[in-house]
Structure 1
């Protein structure tokens, strides 16, 4: 017979307060998202009256229609998708390549490189020097400003390097016996067995690339090359509602307001990554545990 251990009053009280606290945290986290979603689907003029908290009072798609008819949002979405895909692939490959070299015991000066890289985790050059560097590299108003500076991350290198060091040496030795060089070993042996850490880093950097608006604000004056998050930033920060509505072609109903367009734009720009992230969350957890337990 199995005995069921009963909780003491103190343990039961702790569980009660713990669960209540977690529910409050979940509510405080999720409700602002729900509030934006509800008001985005509400008719604009009616939404100006306020009092909409849980469900649209007058359901309407006109704000979303206005957003998708905007001359800039579809181009900005294309730039974001392009920089997210290209930036993630190059970041993962380049960082993994450097991490593989760092993980080898025979690397000359490896400890010095690690020391220099660790310093960059705590100290940065500052915005002005980085801006001047981007200018001298002719990356201002250039799509590559989203890609090249983000191709390498020392933090991600540490995760890669820890994983690579746990790969059995026998795999590389067998490949060398078969005549494989370092490139062949890296591409045909190391990367195929490293899919968990690759998926983790891809998740890290993909979310960063999608959410990054700062590079577009600082380095990009060409509106045709702005990403969707920069577009959202400028929509939300727009001081003149007349200028915002002027960017939308005619045919939109009178119910659309600048506030409803802002809310709809927030939903359009954040919903894709919100829908994708839960499916990749398991890789995020696995990646954070890489190297933390030794057999």
Structure 2
């Protein structure tokens, strides 16, 4: 086989073959459940109830997706999630970078105290009930900003930023200060453009969190117009509201071709597809950013 090195010993080649075999099994176990959901979501719901569908749809149908998107609630939920992901990710990345840039400077007054407090938050939290009371007291309950403000800063992300900023040449900042630039100008015009890999890495972390989070919508949102798409999916699965979706789409679909289970699968695929499409475009920055933020740190 071409991937085997003829200069290596038989035991080394055997070890590589075993590793490849194990990784293929892990990839299959990871990807097949996703493929299974996609295949069954495009199959006639009544036919899928008989089972035996593993690789390809037996009776291809898009009625499941018609039933999903006939409900205007899912479109509102998509809009809330997209808005939350874009605004929340942009603000979180910029705010975390700004705080981390300050914490990366040894001359910052009280730096050790800030770092100690931040480190404590990695292991302990105040608990859900105190956090819920805090959210209500500051007026964020049933407010769109409850998705944005509490998630603007995570100390774990700050650690990656700090490790990266520490490795930037100090001569860049010194020369900029000689030219009359202050810290804000240096941060915006010099530091940020040089930090594309780590910015993309943190953007992936935060963006995936915002897209996948359902818990905030369940606990802090009571208005249907403000629930994100993952909360919408949670209610379909947990509260079995798929029957209501079938009722709303009664005029546009074949009722016998759609079941509660098929609607759940179609909703899962529809809510996951956008973030899966975005991830590959940022993958190269993700790998590079992780290396810069960990190896150099």
**Consecutive unaligned residues in structure 1, runs of 5 or more:** none
| Superposition deviation, residue 112 in structure 1 | 0.9
Quickly say closer, same or farther: Cα 1:240–1:271, change in 2 above 3 A: closer
Residue 120 of structure 2 aligns with which residue?
119
Q: Which residue in 1 is equivalent to 2:12?
A: 11
Q: Distance in 2 between matches of 1:130 and 1:47?
A: 44
Q: Give the aligned partner of residue 49 of structure 2.
A: 48
Which residues of structure 2 form unaligned runs of 5+? none
Single out whichever of 235-244 and 90-99 deviates more from structure 2: 235-244
Superposition deviation, residue 247 in structure 1: 4.3
**Aligned twin of 1:280:** 282
Q: Secondary structure at the match of 2:72?
A: coil
Alpha carbons 1:62, 1:253 under 8 Å: kept: yes
The total of aligned residue pairs comes to 292
What is the aligned partner in structure 2 of residue 143 from structure 1? 144
| 2:291 aligned residue (281, 285, 289) | 289
- Paired residue for 2:77? 76
Q: Does 1:199 align with 2:200?
A: yes
- Structure 1's consecutive aligned runs of 4 or more residues displaced over 6 angstroms after TM superposition are none
In the superposition, the TM-score normalised over structure 2's length comes to 0.93
After the TM superposition, which of the residue ranges 5-14 and 80-89 deviates more from structure 2?
A: 5-14
What do you get for the CA RMSD once the two structures are aligned?
1.7
Call closer, same or farther: CA 1:167–1:13 in 2, change over 3 Å. closer
Work out whether 1:259 is the aligned partner of 2:264: no
23-32 or 231-240: which moved more? 231-240
Q: Is the 1:91–1:152 Cα contact (8 Å) retained in structure 2?
A: yes
Taking the aligned partners of 2:29 and 2:123, their CA distance within structure 1 comes to 31
C-alpha distance in structure 1 between counterparts of 2:280 and 2:294, whole Å: 23
Q: Post-superposition shift, 1:23?
A: 1.3
Structure 1 residues 135 and 168, CA gap change in structure 2 (3 angstroms)? same
Query: How many Å separate the matches in 2 of 1:38 and 1:85?
Result: 30
d(CA) in 2 for partners of 1:251, 1:63: 11
Give 1:177 deviation, angstroms: 1.4
CA distance in 1, matches of 2:81, 2:157: 22
Q: Distance in 2 between matches of 1:121 and 1:16?
A: 39
Q: SS of 1:106's equivalent? A: coil
